[in-house]
Homo-oligomer: A and B are copies of this chain.
Amino acid sequence: MSTDRWVWYIEWSTPRDAHLFAVERVVYRGESKYQKIEIMDLAEVGRALILDGKIQSTLSDEKAYHESLVHPPLIAHGAPRRVLILGGGEGATLREVLRYRSLEEAVMVDLDEKVIEACRTYLPEMSMGSFNDPRSKLIISDARKYLEEAEDIYDAIVIDLVDPMEGGAAQLLYTEEFYRLVKKHLNPGGIMVTQATSPSFTLDVFTTIHNTISQVFEKTSAYATFIRSFDGLWGFVTGSDSISPAELSAEEVDSRISSLLEGELEYYDGTTHTGLFSLPKPIRKALEKEERVARDNNPVYMPI
């Protein structure tokens, strides 16, 4: 090995496991009321948004993440008109939601205005002008508080919040009580999706989130895809009383993409969809066996 680099970003996935990324440039460094915010150019994965020392997304693979989060539930819904996004500060989740021809309003609720501002300035490829779309509405608020107080109803709710870290406030965004709040804001034919941490590193968190959502909705589906800058598979779970993306064939997905969406997708299509929902056997077995339900008084979390 020979390297000519000397500034490194070190991300600890656990106290016994870390990843070194050579830094090309520290583009932005700030701190909000909630977190430390950094945007860096990393040699191998491109420009990255980093919150409190955890990569949130990078230009080289954000499409894999954001397309996998948004399209399986929205394609399955078929004609989303009103969509609520919780979190998603980069604006890339919003960008994907706005692709739907049927869309009339996308409401995005995010806690940290400073993250949004930093991403709009230094990662404009993420939002691609989405915040200026007349269908977009941005509300700066805590996601749970918003759900408790607001009364609006949506066809789909896309949850793109930070991970439930040990001792962190985000633990309460992955509980049965929280998902019941989410359901209150869904139409009868509506669907929710949440990022659900990594089946590679925290399989029990992934399966617990799935089992928790299955307490609240008739139909749930769990899926995952590899995200390079996360070093592993990343998981997602949908919940709905009537819709399950898992039931769609590759052909149906391809057909819906061309009829429902504007623009070309980079990562998601019918075959990618099939891959997302064809989880390896050990993950499927863990999902089947999981009995734990995360509740406010006993939430699920990732160890620090």
Q: Which residues of A contact B (CB under 8 A)?
A: 1-12, 14-23, 25-26, 29, 38, 40, 43-44, 50, 53, 64, 200, 225-226, 228, 231-233, 250, 265-269, 271-272, 274-275, 278-282, 284, 304
How far apart are A301's CB and chain B's nearest CB, in angstroms?
Answer: 15
Candidate in A9, A272, A304 with the most chain B CB atoms within 10 angstroms: A272
Asked whether B17 lies within 8 Å of A44 as measured between CB atoms, the reply is: yes
Question: What's the Cα separation between A9 and B280 when bound, in Å?
Answer: 28
Asked whether A21 lies within 8 Å of B26 as measured between CB atoms, the reply is: no
Asked whether A10 lies within 8 Å of B6 as measured between CB atoms, the reply is: yes
9 extra interface residue pairs, beta carbon distance < 8 Å, beyond A2-B3, A6-B12, A225-B280: A2-B15, A5-B53, A7-B8, A7-B26, A15-B22, A16-B44, A20-B20, A26-B26, A272-B280
Question: What's the Cα separation between A16 and B279 when bound, in Å?
Answer: 31
Closest to A67 in B: B281
27 contacts between A and B (CB under 8 A): A1-B2, A1-B3, A1-B53, A2-B15, A4-B15, A4-B53, A6-B50, A7-B7, A7-B8, A7-B23, A8-B10, A16-B44, A17-B21, A17-B22, A20-B20, A25-B26, A25-B29, A26-B26, A200-B226, A200-B228, A226-B226, A231-B232, A250-B278, A265-B281, A271-B278, A272-B279, A275-B278
Question: What's the Cα separation between A4 and B231 when bound, in Å?
Answer: 21
Closest to A13 in B: B44
Chain B residues near A64 (CB, 8 Å)? 280
Chain B residues near A304 (CB, 8 Å)? 1-2
Asked whether B53 lies within 8 Å of A6 as measured between CB atoms, the reply is: yes
Asked whether A279 lies within 8 Å of B284 as measured between CB atoms, the reply is: no
Partner of A21, one of B2, B16, B226: B16
How far apart are A28's CB and chain B's nearest CB, in angstroms?
Answer: 11
How far apart are A52's CB and chain B's nearest CB, in angstroms?
Answer: 9
Chain B residues near A23 (CB, 8 Å)? 7
Chain B residues near A18 (CB, 8 Å)? 19-20
Chain B residues near A40 (CB, 8 Å)? 7
Closest to A55 in B: B6
Chain B residues near A282 (CB, 8 Å)? 266-267
Question: What's the Cα separation between A152 and B268 when bound, in Å?
Answer: 45
Chain B residues near A232 (CB, 8 Å)? 226, 228, 231
Asked whether A9 lies within 8 Å of B7 as measured between CB atoms, the reply is: yes
Chain B residues near A10 (CB, 8 Å)? 6-8, 20
Question: What's the Cα separation between A3 and B177 when bound, in Å?
Answer: 34
